Amino acid sequence: MSDLLEIDDLHAFYGDFQALHGVSLRVRAGEVQALIGANGAGKSTLLKSICGLVAGRQGSVRWRGAELLGQAPNRIVAQGIALVPEGRRLFPSLSVEENLILGGQVARPGPWSLRAVYDLFPILQEKRAAPSTSLSGGQQQMVSIGRALMSNPELILLDELSLGLAPIVIKDIYARLPRITGQGMAAILVEQDVTRALGSASAFVCLAEGRVALAGAPGAFGREAISAAYFGT
């Protein structure tokens, strides 16, 4: 497997505030990486920086060897990277199906289509004409995942899928993840539940205060080492 995504010495800023301080990481084709860290560690900023959604960035983010920094978000999606943002961020005035169709605007070839998304989440077919805001939190998360899949990405960035959802709904969504990544799609998975994140990934990166505190295979470190990196102790 070759490196799809190579991030080197990435710094990210919101105005004068620096959220990332020299982050480096690699994602290989088909690999699922967990990105863990305490609140405010910079996980969402890292995902948004990859997608071109943070204006202040320095360093290098290369996709298949080509630099992404400086490229507009729509061009980045068109190259095969899709974000499922924290808090879902659906288009509230649009129906379920319209939200999904918007995700397919870039029209990359691949296995994902409305049909495939409805097969993955049958409830969305039932609700396809409903306003996205009328759905439960779990159903909205399914729309957000489906919208990202519709662009047929090679790398999907999943930001806190379980935020605000009931445990049974979280279990249901996670049970379907292998059907997504099983087709060879790489993923970076941000998750507050560290056990769940590490259990779903073959590699992890732990951020603390905008820096990589620990990285490797989940089995390579004991719980104490991971916990110390997580809490910055």
Residues that bind ligand ATP (CB under 6 A): 14, 17, 19, 37, 39-45, 86
Q: How far apart are CA 78 and CA 80, in angstroms?
A: 5
What minimum distance in Å lies between the beta carbon of 38 and ligand ATP?
Answer: 7
Return the structure tokens found at 45: 């900023």
- Let me know: does 157 contact 187? Beta carbons within 8 Å: yes
Burial of 11 from C-beta contacts in 10 A (0-12 / 13-18 / 19+) = middle
Burial of 228 from C-beta contacts in 10 A (0-12 / 13-18 / 19+) = middle
What minimum distance in Å lies between the beta carbon of 125 and ligand ATP?
Answer: 31
What minimum distance in Å lies between the beta carbon of 126 and ligand ATP?
Answer: 31
Q: How far apart are CA 23 and CA 77, in angstroms?
A: 22
What minimum distance in Å lies between the beta carbon of 23 and ligand ATP?
Answer: 11
The H or E element spanning position 229 is helix 223-231
Q: Which is nearer to ligand ATP, 86 or 193 (CB)?
A: 86
What minimum distance in Å lies between the beta carbon of 97 and ligand ATP?
Answer: 29
Q: Which is nearer to ligand ATP, 44 or 140 (CB)?
A: 44
Q: Which is nearer to ligand ATP, 48 or 127 (CB)?
A: 48
Q: Which is nearer to ligand ATP, 40 or 184 (CB)?
A: 40
Q: Which is nearer to ligand ATP, 44 or 152 (CB)?
A: 44
Q: How far apart are CA 157 and CA 155, in angstroms?
A: 7
Amino acid at 227: S
